[in-house]
Amino acid sequence: MKDCIFCTIAQRKIKAEFVNESNQFIAIRDAHPKAEGHTLIIPKKHFVTLLDMPHKLGEELLSFTKEVVSSLLDAKLGDGFNIIMNNLEPAGQVVKHAHIHVIPRKEGDGLKMIS
């Protein structure tokens, strides 16, 4: 999709801090991080929500997410982590391109998440 910021980043037409990449996904630092190391996992192909992604990408998405989380924890950016995906506007999705937030967490960091 030509006007999608995440598609443009995936095509490397806009600079971003890439932290990992696979055949189907990229991981970049969030431009407005909620915590140090806040990373976005983005499919290279445009999908609006998780429901639009083909099932066959599920295993690669999970494996890629685990790699990103492990690297954040190995870098001591957190002692735990949240994985968040907002799907559609009522759930807080702002960019209409499927993406997952990985937020490293530290004890007493003051961040509030749904529990």
Which segments of 1-115 does DSSP mark as H helices, in order?
5-10, 58-74
Identified catalytic residue from 46, 55, 99, 101: 99
Q: What DSSP character marks residue 89?
A: G
CA distance 72 to 39: 9
CA distance 34 to 45: 26
CA 64 to chain centre: 10
Look up 32 and say whether it is catalytic. Answer: no
- For residues 65 and 102, the answer to whether their CB atoms sit within 8 Å is yes
Positions annotated as catalytic residues are: 99
